[in-house]
A and B are shown apart, each in its own frame.
Chain A
Amino acid sequence: MIEINQLSHHFTLGKKGQQTRLDVLKNISLHVNEGEIVSIVGRSGSGKSTLLNLISGFIHPSEGEILILDQKVSEFTEEEFADFRLKNMGFIFQSFQLIPSMTAYENVELPLILKGVSEQARKQMTLDMLKTVGLDTFKDHYPSELSGGQQQRVSIARALILEPPLILADEPTGSLDSETEADLLNFIKKLNRERGITFVIITHDDEVARIGHRTIEIADGELVKSGVLV
């Protein structure tokens, strides 16, 4: 599913003329198999979020290559990556990233609109998806009228609506209480089991990391170990 070869990334910080280079990722190589749940763990500032952003195409790598579904996405233009993301990737963010002026229904419907799905088909698909995440009765609620757990479920519904083969989650339980966290993790496992969706989850929480089939640890921008967490 994902193949990363000798990936390095650095940021240039500071004013012009007084810039310093910060190496965030150093020579990372890893792969994620189809249907796997992979947890990427590490301390704050270890570079795990940067790795996820590189896989997502939000930033371009300084060196190395990333292949997703056998396509060298690291060479994609912004336009190409946007199209690729729409068709193949779903996102779950720590802070949900819902559009506040849109209802739950409209937020979930958004990827379908971007893909150009007809209004009639959109309506059915969105309602089905909201039902799947148990929010069909909250469809007309704005994000500010929903709890954290409900917002995250809207965010998951939006990630799943186009049935992407890969979902990238950045600290998905970071803003949730423990009960809601457990519900969400069970839901992710169910989706993986029943739909074969590949999950890459960034977390610093061992509980969350444990749902992964495999755990990759990053420290100071380098791969520390890759294996099954005990």
Chain B
Amino acid sequence: MKLKDQFRFIQQNMKKNKMRVSMTILASAMSVAFLIVLASVAFGLHDTVIKDTIESPEVTQIEVAGKDIGNGNAESLSNEDIEQIEALEGVNAVTRSKQVRQETRYITEGYEINTQTIQSHFPSMKNAGMDLGEGAFPEEKDEVAVGYHFALNLLKDDVDPEEAEYGEDGHLIPEQRFSGEIIGQTFDLEFKRMQDGEEITETVPVTVTGVIEKPGREWAWDQNVYITDEKLAELEAITGTSKAMLTDPADAAEDTGYDSATVYADDLETVKSVMTSLEEEGYFVYSMVSEMSQINTLFNIAKAGLIFIGTIAILIASIGIFNTMTMAVTERAPDIGIMKAIGASPKVIKRIFLLESTYIGLIGAVIGIAVSYVISIGVNLALPLILESAFDEELPQGLQFSSIPFSLVLIAVAICLIVTMLSGMRPAKRATEIDVLKAMRREV
């Protein structure tokens, strides 16, 4: 018997009990829609988090905190370490910095600010593709770049720091802060050195050539001043200590290691392999990718859990299919008997009933998928509006509550088909066991 004819048979049979079959299809559709919509929430939120992470420039960065030297001890990175890391496959650049070990003050005509001074390796920052928010990277010894918030907190020198006023944005109010062009501005970098137990103030000139981009995260604050290697060397020469430490040169310990280093991988795909190589070499590393892997695990567990709950709904719907098919077999027993008598093989009979239950499941699944998409679109449109009006808070841009990827559709269809086929197995087997003579005598 050809498949086409089997389908025609099934359609004829289904027409005989339109109401019962429709209700069974409706139950299947509802269960499939329930599974998809439920799981789509996990898929939607996961997509939002992943998208947010992937779009972040930090995604290809690997922070290297130090190197394991055994017995649980770590040491900061040396120039040799940097060279070793730069030689690794997939590494685009390694930016590194040393922090000046004392608070520094920057003074220009009528303004001043106390802030941290950090030596940065600007060529590697250029290699990493980093752009300054404004201006150019320092190239000469006296050139510096400043953090995005530097100028916003550059206080007028006639205002007592204790009386400084800050606006809602956390910066100095415009009347008390620097309002000119920061690029090209020359400052005196004021720092101290120890001599015979006494602090002696020293100044060296610096000129701002660039402003670092605003930090990616809203809460991050950057009012540091970034100096060149040569400038740090100058400060070290004046103080006579490593990283311009405020200690007597005779007592100062040598500390030439980098305080932080960031490895820039070529792309997202190579981050993992670079991290593995770094870990194998004994470096302590951290990247957003490791965070992403944990996020993925969490969301995958959530997805599996929600799909499992949805499957229970399909299992409940399958009881309806089982009942429908059992009744269909009972009602059609005389017809089955006649068909068997004239030569229908048990295999064909079984296949017809299995196909019928699968067909019911499939129609239910198709309707369920369509309904799910409608619900998903509706949820994504309506929920932000509801939440915003209810809590009076703007939701993050690009937040997606529900997402139905094709894989979820496939999973739902597969589960639905498997469950409906299984629920049709017993009735189908019963159909093959129908006794021809009893059926023809209408005794079944």
Contacts and interface: CB of A to CB of B under 8 A. Distances in A.
23 contacts: A53-B437, A58-B341, A79-B345, A82-B340, A82-B344, A82-B346, A83-B343, A85-B342, A85-B343, A86-B342, A87-B343, A89-B343, A93-B440, A97-B337, A97-B341, A97-B440, A101-B16, A101-B335, A113-B2, A114-B1, A114-B339, A114-B342, A119-B4
A200 to B, nearest CB: 15
Nearest to B337: A97
Contacts of A110: 339, 342
Interface string A105-129: 0000011011110010000000000
A99 B12 CA distance: 13
A199 interface: no
Given A97-B440, A99-B335, A101-B12, A113 B342 contact: no
Instruction: Determine the interface band of chain A, counting residues with CB < 8 A from chain B.
Output: 20 to 34
A188 to B, nearest CB: 18
B345 A83 contact: yes
Contacts of B340: 82
A91 B440 CA distance: 13
Nearest 3 pairs between A and B by C-beta? A86-B343, A82-B345, A85-B343
Nearest to B1: A114
Nearest to B341: A91
Contacts of A114: 1, 339, 342-344, 348
A87 B341 CA distance: 12
A93 B107 CA distance: 114
B168 interface: no
A220 to B, nearest CB: 21
A30 interface: no
A59 interface: yes
B194 interface: no
A75 interface: no
A58 B342 contact: no
A39 interface: no
Interface in B1-24: 1-2, 4-5, 9, 12, 16
The secondary-structure label for the interface of chain B is helix
Given A79-B345, A99-B338, 12 more contacts: A58-B436, A82-B340, A82-B343, A85-B341, A87-B343, A91-B341, A110-B342, A114-B342, A115-B1, A116-B2, A116-B5, A158-B342
Contacts of A82: 340, 343-346
A55 B337 CA distance: 17
B347 interface: yes
A85 B344 CA distance: 9
A59 B337 CA distance: 13
Interface string A58-75: 110000000000000000
Given A53-B437, A59-B437, A116-B2, A111 B342 contact: yes
Interface string A131-157: 000000000000000000000000000
B3 to A, nearest CB: 10
Contacts of A99: 335, 338-339
Nearest to A98: B338
Given A83-B345, A85-B341, A97-B440, A113 B5 contact: yes
A119 B2 CA distance: 10
A78 B348 CA distance: 12
A79 B346 contact: yes
A56 interface: yes
A13 to B, nearest CB: 15
A94 to B, nearest CB: 10
Nearest to A84: B343
A111 B2 contact: no
Contacts of A111: 342-343
Nearest to A162: B343
Interface string B328-340: 0000000101111
A91 to B, nearest CB: 6
A105 B278 CA distance: 79
Interface string A26-62: 0000000000000000000000000001001011000
Contacts of A101: 12, 16, 335
B437 to A, nearest CB: 5
A135 to B, nearest CB: 18
Nearest to B9: A113
Nearest to B442: A95
Nearest to A109: B5
Given A58-B436, A99-B335, A113 B1 contact: yes
Interface string B342-374: 111111100000000000000000000000000
Interface centre among A82, A93, A98, A116 (most CB of B within 10 A): A82
A172 to B, nearest CB: 15
B342 A56 contact: no
A85 B342 CA distance: 7
B295 to A, nearest CB: 55
Interface in B376-411: none
Contacts of A116: 1-2, 5
Interface string A199-211: 0000000000000
Contacts of B1: 113-116
A116 B342 CA distance: 14
Contacts of B437: 53, 58-59
B275 to A, nearest CB: 61
A56 B5 contact: no
Contacts of A97: 337-338, 341, 440
A86 B436 CA distance: 15
Contacts of B339: 99, 110, 114
A68 to B, nearest CB: 14
Interface in B413-444: 436-437, 440
Contacts of B2: 113, 116
Nearest to B8: A113
Contacts of A86: 342-344
Nearest to B343: A86
B341 A56 contact: yes
A180 B392 CA distance: 88
